[in-house]
């Protein structure tokens, strides 16, 4: 199956002359700008949209299927499709470093009796040095 850049505008998709104008108007009305935005829309929500008939929805689903996409996809699925990996893992890693920074600043503040701003500054320097060591 062919892949497509999901950050592209939905205007790059072709839905056939019979449905094109109606579908693109609904996209504008509901602020669906990118293919990613479209894929995140639950199909059941589109059924409730005025002027969005079953045939129009089927046409959208067929076009998405060509690219191995579908309505109602989760952000994580779309990230994987787009080749964006480890985003959750990266966020967890950042949270750990932020927690370490807090703990170091607290220790410096308490034990070295520095003002809070100075303690945070010292903690930031230590975290930068530690992170530099782990990225080698």
- For the segment 67-124, what is each residue's pLDDT rounded down to a tens digit? 999 998 888 888 888 887 655 667 787 788 889 888 988 898 889 888 888 888 888 8
pLDDT for 38-54, tens place per residue? Answer: 998 876 666 667 767 78
Question: Domain check: are 75 and 16 in the same one?
Answer: yes
| Buried-exposed string 53-81: b where 16+ CB fall within 10 A, e elsewhere | eeebbebbeebbeebebebebeeeebbeb
Q: Which residues contact 118 (CB under 8 A, 6 or more apart)?
A: 108
Contact in structure between 34 and 10 (CB atoms under 8 Å):
yes
In whole angstroms, how far apart are CA 11 and each of 6, 23, 68?
A: 12, 10, 18
Q: d(Cα 39, Cα 12) in Å, to the nearest integer? A: 14
Evaluate whether residue 5 is within a structural domain.
Answer: no
Question: Domain check: are 65 and 20 in the same one?
Answer: yes
Number of domains into which the chain is organized: 2
Question: Domain check: are 97 and 67 in the same one?
Answer: no
Residue 134 pLDDT greater than 60, yes or no: no
Question: Domain check: are 62 and 16 in the same one?
Answer: yes
Contact in structure between 82 and 7 (CB atoms under 8 Å):
yes
Q: What is the pTM of this model?
A: 0.60
For residue 105, the enclosing domain spans 87-134
- pLDDT level of residue 27 (50, 70, 90 thresholds): confident
Evaluate whether residue 65 is within a structural domain.
Answer: yes
Contact in structure between 56 and 19 (CB atoms under 8 Å):
yes
């Amino acid at each position: 199956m062919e892949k497509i850049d999901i950050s592209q505008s939905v205007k790059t998709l072709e839905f056939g002359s019979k449905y094109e104008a109606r579908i693109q108007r609904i996209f504008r009305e509901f602020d669906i700008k990118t293919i990613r935005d479209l894929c995140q829309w639950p199909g059941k929500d589109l059924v409730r949209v005025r002027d969005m008939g079953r045939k129009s929805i089927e046409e959208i689903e067929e076009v998405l299927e060509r690219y191995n996409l579908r309505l109602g996809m989760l952000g994580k699925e779309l990230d994987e499709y787009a080749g964006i990996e480890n985003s959750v893992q990266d966020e967890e890693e950042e949270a750990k470093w932020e927690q370490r920074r807090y703990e170091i600043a607290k220790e410096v503040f308490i034990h070295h009796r520095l003002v809070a701003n100075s303690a945070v500054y010292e903690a930031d320097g230590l975290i930068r040095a530690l992170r530099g060591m782990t990225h080698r």
